[in-house]
Amino acid sequence: MATINDIAKLAKVSKATVSKVINQHPGVKEETKKKVLRIMKQNNYWPNSVARSLSTHKSYTIGIFDPGRLNNFFFREVFEGIERVCGDKGYDILYFTDKKWDGSWVDFGYTEISKNRSVDGVIMMGFGRVETSKFDALLASDMPTVFIDLDLVGKNASYVTSDNFNGAKTAVRYLCQLGHEKIAMITGPNGFKVARERFSGFQSVLDEFEISYNPDWVFYCQYQLEAGYEAMKKILKMREKPTAIFAEDILAIGAIRAIRDHGFSVPEDFSIIGFDDIELSEHYDLTTIRQDKYMLGVSAAELVLKIINKKNSAPVILKTGLVKRATCRRITG
Amino acid sequence: MATINDIAKLAKVSKATVSKVINQHPGVKEETKKKVLRIMKQNNYWPNSVARSLSTHKSYTIGIFDPGRLNNFFFREVFEGIERVCGDKGYDILYFTDKKWDGSWVDFGYTEISKNRSVDGVIMMGFGRVETSKFDALLASDMPTVFIDLDLVGKNASYVTSDNFNGAKTAVRYLCQLGHEKIAMITGPNGFKVARERFSGFQSVLDEFEISYNPDWVFYCQYQLEAGYEAMKKILKMREKPTAIFAEDILAIGAIRAIRDHGFSVPEDFSIIGFDDIELSEHYDLTTIRQDKYMLGVSAAELVLKIINKKNSAPVILKTGLVKRATCRRITG
DNA sequence: CTGTTAGCGCGTTCAA
DNA sequence: TTGAACGCGCTAACAG
C-alpha cells in the first residue's frame, strides 16, 4: 500500500501538501492540487485510517454494545437502521464482542473500551434492566453515547425509545373497546424499564375504564416464547379466566401456542394483543402495537452523530401504532 | 486517558519497559514488573489500540462484508457464531457499512477498504452470486479472507460451506422413500452457487430413483417468502401437479401459505421439505434439512484466525441433517 | 535487566 | 503557496 510519503515523492511535493489536498484545505495552488490528485488515483492511494485516527482522534467509527448479540427479533431490525445511517455518513460500525478473558465489558468499563478503540461515539442497545449504575462512568464521560430504550442522559449522552406508555394504553384501550373487562398481562421481567412503562399504561387504562385490577392476572417473565407459553398454561388452569391478554409479541406468540395446544382457539376463546410487531407476528396474524424498529436504529445513529458534531442531543421518542390483524374479537357482555 | 508515558513516569521507568510488561516480554525483573502493573491498575490504564495498530500492523479486528445487512434469517445466526469466536480470542468485529458516497464497496475494492482499516482478516458473507471476478484482487492479496458459501480459495483465502449437494440428496431421497415420484423444486436464483449445488443434488436423486425430470416443475426465484408463494400458485394451476415440493425454507414457507390460502393442506395434499432450518421453520412445523448456521459462523471465524496465524487454511465443509417435522407424509402409489 | 532511539502514517503549526 | 519539524501512543531493535 502506498503511503503519503510515496505520493509526495512521486508528485515532487512535501507530504504536508499532499495532506492538505486530501483534507481539502485551502491554500494549495489549483495546479499542484490536480497533480497530486492524479498521482493519488494512479497509485490507488487512500490515506490509512489508523494513522489518521491516531493523530486526529477521530475514527469515523461508531461502536455498538449489544449484550443480546443480535440474537433477538427486535434488535436485528434496529441494527439495519443504524447501518443505513452510518453508511450514508461514511462511518463503519465496530461491534464490541464480549471478551471472556478480561472479565467482560462491565468489569473493564464501557468508557475505557470505547476510548481505547477510539470510536467517535457509541450506541448501547439491548440493556433492558434498570441498573443504571454501571453506566455512570459513561454518562459522566465525554464519549458521545446514545441508549436505546433506556432513558439515560449525561454530559454527552442521550436516548431514543418508543412511547411505551401510550403504546400500551392504545393496546389495552382497544381491548376494552371491544368489550373486554377481564384482561391479563404477560410481560417482561419486573426490572426492565420498557416492561414497567407498558405495565403503567395497562393500569392506567384499567382505571380509565373503571376495571378492577387483578394481580393474579399479571405475569412477569423472561422474553422468551417458552415463558409466554408457561404463563398461559397457568391462566388456562384458573377457574376465573380473563377473556383477553396483553403481552409483548414473543410472549403473546407463546401464549397463542399454549392456547392452541390445549384445544382452545384465538380469538374465539381468548383475544390476544401484542407489543412490538416483530417479524414473527405477521406469521401468527397477531394484532399488535407496532414499534418502528428501523426508525429506532435510524434515530439512534442520527442522534449519536448529532452529539458528535455538537448539535443538540434531545432525546427522541417514537410514536407507536396499532396493527389490527386477527387475534382480537369483540365480545358481548 | 493515561498514556504509556504517564505510566512510565509514575513508575520511574522508561516506556520501553512498560511496553515490555504490557506485551509480556521476558526480561523484566519481577519486582519492576509488579510495580508497573500496579501503577497501570491504579490509573486504569490500557494501551491505546489505535497507536498499537499503527506500529504493529495488527488490530485485533475482523472485518465483515455483508451485503445482506443481517436482514436475513440465515446470516443472523451465522453472525452469532462469528461473534462468539472473535470474542473469545480478543477480537472485535468491524462491520463495513455500505457507503453511498464513494461508489460502494465494489468500486473501491474490498482489499483497499480492509487494508485501509487495518483489519487482520475479513469474512465475506451473503455474496450468493457466482460472479467471482470482483473478488480477484482480494484473492490475490495477502489479506486473510474467508468466504461463507462461496468456494473461493486464494493466497490467503479459503471458505466454509454446508454440504449442499448431499443435503439436497438427503431431502429428495427422503421424499422418494415416502413414495413420491412427482417432485417439484422451488429454488433460488440460477446464478447462486448454493442453489445450483442443491439443484444438482435434486437431479442426482431423481436419476438414482429413475424418476424422469420435469423442467416445468423447477422454479428459480429470489429468496423471499412472496416468491415461494407465487411459484406455488403456478403449481396449483397446473393440471398435472407434483405431490411433493423441495424448496429452501423461506420459499417453502411461502409455498405452504399459498397452499393453505387456496384451500389445500400440508401434508395431505402436498408434502413439503425445506432446506436451511431457519428459525421460522419450526413455527410452521416444516420438515427440513438443517444447516448448522452457528457452526458456520464459528468455523468461518476460526478459519480466518488460523490463516492470520499462518496455520493451515483448508476449506471447511459442514454436514447437514434431516429434521423431521410435520410437512411430509407417505403416499401410496 | 533497562533505557535510547527510531519508526508506524498522517495532521498541523510555523517559517520560509 | 509550500515544506520542515514535531506529535499522536506504542513497538522494536539496539545499546548500555
Interface test with A, best of B56, B70, B108, B117 (most A CBs within 10 A): B117
Distance CA(B147)–CA(B124), nearest Å, equals: 5
Q: Exposed, middle or buried, A324 (CB in 10 Å: 0-12/13-18/19+)?
A: exposed
Q: Which helix (H) or strand (E) holds A185?
A: strand A183-187
B45 compared with B104, residue with greater pLDDT: B45
pLDDT reading at B107 higher than 70:
no
Which residues in chain A touch residue B79, judged by CB atoms under 8 angstroms apart? 69-70
Residue B322 corresponds to which cell in the numbers above? 434431516
pLDDT reading at B104 higher than 50:
no
Classify strands A288-290 and A321-323 as parallel, antiparallel or unpaired. Answer: antiparallel
What pLDDT score does A28 carry?
Answer: 86
H-only helix segments in B70-129: 73-88, 104-108, 110-116
A28 beta carbon to strand D: under 7 Å: yes
What pLDDT score does B165 carry?
Answer: 97
Q: How confident is the model at residue A107 (pLDDT cuts 50, 70, 90)?
A: low
Distance CA(A48)–CA(B118), nearest Å, equals: 8
Which residues in chain A touch residue B109, judged by CB atoms under 8 angstroms apart? 44
Q: How confident is the model at residue B70 (pLDDT cuts 50, 70, 90)?
A: low
CATH topology of domain A4-52: 434 Repressor (Amino-terminal Domain) (1.10.260)
CA atoms in the 13 A half-sphere facing the CB of B261:
12
What pLDDT score does B103 carry?
Answer: 40
The DSSP code for A192 is: B
Min Cα distance B275 → chain A (Å) is 19
Q: How confident is the model at residue B207 (pLDDT cuts 50, 70, 90)?
A: very high
- Across the range B101-109, mean pLDDT stands at 53
Q: Exposed, middle or buried, B29 (CB in 10 Å: 0-12/13-18/19+)?
A: exposed
Distance CA(B269)–CA(B244), nearest Å, equals: 9
Among the partner-chain residues A47, A88, A95, the one whose CB lies closest to the CB of B100 is A88
Q: Give tens-digit pLDDT for B77-100.
A: 899 999 999 999 989 999 999 876
Which regions of chain B does DSSP assign to beta strands (E)? 61-65, 92-95, 121-124, 145-148, 157-162, 183-187, 218-220, 244-247, 271-276, 288-290, 316-318, 321-323
Q: A326: which residues sit within 8 A by CB, 6+ positions away?
A: A267, A285, A286, A287
**A16-20, A60-64, B56-60 — which one is most confidently predicted on average?**
A60-64
Distance CA(A245)–CA(A251), nearest Å, equals: 10
pLDDT reading at A104 higher than 60:
no
Q: Give tens-digit pLDDT for A181-236.
A: 999 999 998 888 899 999 999 999 999 999 999 999 999 999 899 999 999 999 99
Min Cα distance B276 → chain A (Å) is 17
Q: Which of A121-135, A144-158, B99-113 has the lowest mean pLDDT?
A: B99-113
Find the chain B residues whose C-beta atoms sit closer than 8 A to any C-beta of A.
Answer: 1, 44, 46-51, 53-54, 59, 61, 69-71, 76, 79-80, 83, 86-88, 90-102, 108-109, 112, 115-118, 280, 283-284
Q: How confident is the model at residue A69 (pLDDT cuts 50, 70, 90)?
A: low
B155 beta carbon to strand C: under 7 Å: no
pLDDT reading at A271 higher than 60:
yes
pLDDT reading at B132 higher than 60:
yes
Which residues in chain B touch residue A97, judged by CB atoms under 8 angstroms apart? 83, 86-87, 91-93
Q: How confident is the model at residue B129 (pLDDT cuts 50, 70, 90)?
A: confident
Is the CB of A46 less than 8 angstroms away from the CB of B80? no
Supply the Cα-derived Rg of chain B in whole angstroms. Answer: 26
What pLDDT score does B238 carry?
Answer: 96
pLDDT reading at A174 higher than 60:
yes
What pLDDT score does A106 carry?
Answer: 44
In angstroms, the CA of A94 and the C1' of C4 are apart by 37
A60 beta carbon to strand C: under 7 Å: no
What pLDDT score does B2 carry?
Answer: 86
Is the CB of A88 less than 8 angstroms away from the CB of B79? no
Among the partner-chain residues B50, B70, B97, the one whose CB lies closest to the CB of A53 is B50
**A118-132, B128-142, B250-264 — which one is most confidently predicted on average?**
B250-264
A27 beta carbon to strand D: under 7 Å: yes
Q: Which nucleotide is nearest to A14 (CA to C1')?
A: D3
In angstroms, the CA of A14 and the C1' of D4 are apart by 9
Give the residue whose CA sits closest to C13 at C1'.
Answer: A16
Amino acid at A109: G
Strand C and chain A: which residues 29-48 have CB closer than 7 Å?
47-48
In angstroms, the CA of A32 and the C1' of C3 are apart by 44
pLDDT reading at A102 higher than 90:
no
CA atoms in the 13 A half-sphere facing the CB of A56:
14
- Across the range B268-296, mean pLDDT stands at 96
Q: A234: which residues sit within 8 A by CB, 6+ positions away?
A: A219
Q: Could you give the residue range(s) of every CATH 3.40.50.2300 domain in chain B?
A: 61-162+293-320, 164-291
Asked if residue B159 lies in contact with residue B315, where contact means CB atoms within 8 angstroms, the answer is yes
Amino acid at B112: E
pLDDT reading at B209 higher than 80:
yes
Distances (CA, A) of A254 to A227, A233, A258, A281: 7, 10, 6, 11
Is the CB of B49 less than 8 angstroms away from the CB of A115? no
In angstroms, the CA of A15 and the C1' of C10 are apart by 9
Q: Give tens-digit pLDDT for B168-206.
A: 999 999 999 999 999 999 999 988 889 999 999 999 999
Q: Could you give the residue range(s) of every CATH 1.10.260.40 domain in chain A?
A: 4-52
- Across the range B55-84, mean pLDDT stands at 87
What pLDDT score does B272 carry?
Answer: 98
Top CATH class, A61-162+293-320: alpha beta
What pLDDT score does A308 carry?
Answer: 94
Q: Give tens-digit pLDDT for A277-333.
A: 999 999 999 999 999 999 999 999 999 999 999 888 899 999 999 999 999 999 985
Q: Give tens-digit pLDDT for B1-33.
A: 789 999 998 999 998 999 998 888 888 888 899
Residue for cell digits 489518521? A52
Domain spanning A164-291: CATH superfamily: Response regulator (3.40.50.2300)
The arrangement of strands across the sheet holding B183-187 comes to: B218-220, B183-187, B244-247, B271-276, B288-290, B321-323
Q: How confident is the model at residue B333 (pLDDT cuts 50, 70, 90)?
A: low
Q: Is the peptide bond before B267 cis (omega within 30 degrees of 0)?
A: yes
